């Protein structure tokens, strides 16, 4: 059986029936709808610094393996921060951009990055072949580096014994320990944490806020307007560019009618805040939050407690609420390791960055031990 490699510069050329044969572990960010929608709505493009450059392997039976990959002219929207690396290149008169990135744009979500057809023989070898293809592209096209961000377990197992540089970090996830109610969850927390959460929730309730959960299929155009307005408001408040267009949210609502879910906060029947979630593969992913009013505790309620309550009611195992945020620990979230893999074409910089990553790894282990001192649970979760 012969295997050929191709660069795919337009995701719409990948048929949904072929995509469904790849094992994406039910991750909604690796759905055909999500990746196709980013390009179809212009939320990413060469002009926005995300030029599609997907890596694909084909055999006699069609699409065999695929890595969502982009040529980047900046490092925005990645969440594995390499600004210092880019600055070091610049100070030495070298170009860091363009670089090659395998990731899901604007999504700090661990999941499949080197996707392989379900049931394929030697899947690890196919994943390594995709990585070799990426490195060959760097040599052929002159890209400074290749980055595989938020790699899932199969990718980590396939790449950890290669010469690629490895980088780790911590996110904070909530785990469902078969809770029947939100009070069951509160019951396993330390007293001080439990009282603080109840206080925050009470503030929101006493302000007259009521919540409504809507699926993508339920989202009318005026609700999509409100969602996008809140999304833009949050990004601009922190000096960031809101890259995703309203048409992208509408695209997801139509094509992921159950996987897209939104918690709408209402005050006297008027929508005032929202948190947008995606779900799939036994996980709930909190992505975007925004509010048009200032109410104490509203952010925590909309972005965290509503998500936790939803997971308990729906029997969802894990809630990932996004990148960073030590404040999440006090609200029941615990550290989970994230992994990325990196190839740097320049030998001198590869060695220097490798030394830096060894030091960073030791510091992150110490940081993890410090986080344990703030564990909110009376007994550590299994």
Under 8 Å between Cβ of 201 and 297 = yes
Rg (CA), the chain: 21
- Averages of pLDDT over each 10 residues, the chain, 382 residues: 94 97 97 98 97 98 98 97 97 97 97 97 97 98 98 97 96 97 98 97 98 98 98 92 96 98 97 98 97 97 98 98 90 96 97 97 95 88 58
Together in a domain, 38 and 127: yes
Together in a domain, 182 and 133: no
Distance, first Cα to last Cα, the chain:
45
pLDDT of residue 246: 97
Together in a domain, 120 and 206: no
**Per-residue pLDDT tens digits for 140-184:** 999 999 999 999 999 999 999 999 999 999 999 999 999 999 999
CATH of the domain at 341: 3.40.630.30
Together in a domain, 55 and 91: yes
Q: Looking at residue 377, what DSSP letter applies?
A: B
Together in a domain, 289 and 357: no
What's the structural domain count of the chain? 2
Together in a domain, 294 and 189: yes
Together in a domain, 216 and 74: no
**Nearest Cα to 130, choosing from 104, 108, 162?**
162
Asked if residue 127 is part of any domain, the answer here is yes
Together in a domain, 18 and 161: yes
**Per-residue pLDDT tens digits for 183-204:** 999 999 999 999 999 999 999 9
Both tokens assigned to 164: 């690629």
Together in a domain, 33 and 83: yes
pLDDT of residue 322: 87
Which domain does 184 fall in, by range? 177-316
Together in a domain, 251 and 292: yes
Asked if residue 285 is part of any domain, the answer here is yes
Read off the pTM: 0.96
pLDDT of residue 381: 59
**Per-residue pLDDT tens digits for 4-40:** 999 999 999 999 999 999 999 999 999 999 999 999 9
């Amino acid at each position: 059986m012969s295997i050929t490699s191709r660069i795919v510069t337009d995701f719409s050329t990948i048929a949904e029936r072929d995509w469904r044969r790849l094992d994406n572990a039910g991750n909604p960010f690796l759905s055909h709808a999500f990746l196709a929608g980013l390009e179809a709505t212009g939320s990413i493009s060469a002009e926005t610094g995300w030029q599609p450059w997907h890596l694909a392997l084909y055999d006699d039976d069609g699409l065999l393996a695929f890595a969502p990959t982009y040529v980047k002219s900046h490092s925005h929207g990645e969440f594995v921060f390499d600004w210092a690396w880019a600055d070091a290149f610049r100070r030495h008169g070298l170009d860091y951009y363009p670089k090659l990135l395998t990731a899901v744009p604007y999504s700090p979500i661990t999941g499949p990055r080197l996707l392989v057809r379900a049931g394929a023989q030697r899947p690890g070898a196919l994943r390594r072949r995709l990585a070799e293809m990426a490195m060959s592209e760097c040599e052929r096209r002159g890209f400074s580096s290749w980055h595989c961000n938020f790699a899932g377990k199969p990718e980590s197992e396939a790449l950890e014994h290669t010469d690629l540089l490895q980088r780790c970090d911590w996110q904070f996830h909530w785990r469902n320990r078969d809770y029947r109610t939100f009070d069951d969850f509160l019951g396993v927390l330390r007293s001080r944490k439990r009282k603080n959460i109840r206080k925050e929730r009470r503030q929101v309730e006493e302000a007259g806020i009521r919540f409504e959960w809507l699926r993508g299929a339920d989202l009318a155009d005026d609700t999509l307007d409100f969602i996008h307005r809140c999304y833009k408001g949050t990004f601009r408040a922190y000096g960031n560019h809101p890259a995703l267009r309203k048409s992208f949210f509408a695209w997801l609502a139509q094509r992921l009618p159950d996987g897209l879910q939104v918690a709408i906060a209402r005050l006297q029947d008027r929508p005032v805040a929202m948190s947008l979630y995606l779900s799939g593969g036994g996980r709930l992913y909190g992505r975007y939050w925004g509010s048009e009013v200032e109410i104490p505790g509203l952010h925590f309620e909309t972005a965290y407690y509503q998500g936790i309550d939803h997971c308990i009611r729906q029997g969802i195992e894990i809630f990932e609420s996004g990148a960073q945020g030590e404040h999440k620990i006090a609200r029941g979230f615990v550290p989970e390791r994230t992994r990325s893999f990196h190839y740097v074409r320049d030998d001198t910089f590869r060695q220097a960055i490798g030394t830096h990553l060894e030091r960073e790894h030791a510091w992150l282990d110490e940081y993890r031990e410090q986080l344990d001192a703030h564990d909110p649970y009376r007994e550590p979760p299994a």
